[in-house]
Amino acid sequence: MAIPVIENLAQTRVPIDNLLQRRRSPRAFSEQPVEPEKLVSLFEAARWSPSSANEQPWNFIVATKDDHEINSRLFECLSERNRQWAHRAPVLVLVVARLHYGTTGTPNKHAWYDLGQSVAHLTVQATALGLSVHQMGGFNTEKARELFSIPDGFAPVIILAIGYADTPDALPHDLREREEAPRTRKPLESFVFTDVWGKPSRHISDASGFHHD
C-alpha cells in the first residue's frame, strides 16, 4: 500500500477520533487501483447515513480507470484546474441529489444536506481503509447531466476523486505548496454560539481548561 509522505494531520484544539483527524483532501494520488471490496464498502457506508424521513436522496455514478470510456466522460466534466491533478486518481464518482421525496413528490429541502452526510460517511470509511477522497465542486453540471442522462428533479452536486494518497512530488509547483501548507480552520468561538447569534457558548470558553494547544 502507498504510504502518504504527508500526513498533515488536523491540528485539533481538543482530541477527536483518529479517523476524523487523519481525514484530508489530497490532490496527490497514487495510480494504484482501489480494491473492489474496498470500493463497495464506501457506498455501503454512504448507504447507512441518516436522512430526512429516511429518503436516502443520494445517487452515485462511479467509474474506475478500468471503466475507461466512462471514466473519461466524468473527467471531461471537471474544471481545467481540477484536471491538473485528478487524472491520477483511480476512481471518479459523480454524486447526484434527488430533489423531491419519492413518496409525495414534494420538494426535499434537506436533499443537499443529506447528500453531504452520505459523502462524509463514505469519506470516513475511505479513511478507515487507508484511502483518501477529494471532493470537487468545480465541474460542469450541465455537461454531466447530458453525458450521463441525469433526469429532471435530480441535481449533480459534486465529483469525488478517490484513491491512495501519494507524495506531492508529481504535482505542479503551486499545488504542491498548497498540499504541504498547514491546514486551517476558523476558531470554535467564531461559530459555536449560545443564547443569541454571535455570542460564543460558555461550553467553548470553559474548554480552555482542557484543550491541548
Among 30, 89, 121, 166, binds a copy of itself (CB under 8 A): 121
CA distances from 139 to 58, 77, 90, 160 (A): 18, 5, 18, 11
SS3 150: coil
110 binds a copy of itself per the rule CB under 8 A? yes
* The one segment of 75-83, 107-115, 169-177 that binds a copy of itself by CB under 8 A: 107-115
Give the range of 79-87, 165-173, 195-203 binding a copy of itself by CB under 8 A. 195-203
Of residues 11-30, those binding a copy of itself (CB under 8 A) = 12-17, 19-21, 23, 25
Residue of the chain from 4, 85, 114, 131 that contacts a copy of itself (CB under 8 A) = 114
Nearer to a copy of itself, 130 or 170 (CB): 130
181 counts as binding a copy of itself under rule CB under 8 A? no
Q: Do residues 152 and 146 make contact, with C-beta atoms less than 8 angstroms apart?
A: no
Establish if 158 lies at the interface with a copy of itself (CB under 8 A).
yes
Nearer Cβ to a copy of itself, position 133 or 171?
Answer: 133
Rule CB under 8 A: say whether 40 interacts with a copy of itself: yes
Dist. CA 152–CA 103, nearest whole Å: 17
SS3 79: coil
Nearer to a copy of itself, 158 or 169 (CB): 158
Q: Say whether residue 70 binds a copy of itself (CB under 8 A).
A: yes
CB-wise, 158 or 171, nearer to a copy of itself?
A: 158
> Residue 133 Cβ, how far from a copy of itself at the closest point, in Å?
9
Sequence letter at residue 43:
F
Choice from 10, 99, 170, 175 touching a copy of itself (CB under 8 A) = 10
What DSSP string describes 10-64? ---SS---HHHHH----S-B--PPPPHHHHHHHHHHHHTS--GGG---EEEEEEE
Confirm if 19 and 124 have CB atoms less than 8 A apart. Answer: yes
Grid cell locating 56: 436516502
User: Could you tell me how far CA 58 lies from the centroid of its own chain?
Assistant: 14
Q: Rule CB under 8 A: is residue 185 a binding residue for a copy of itself?
A: yes
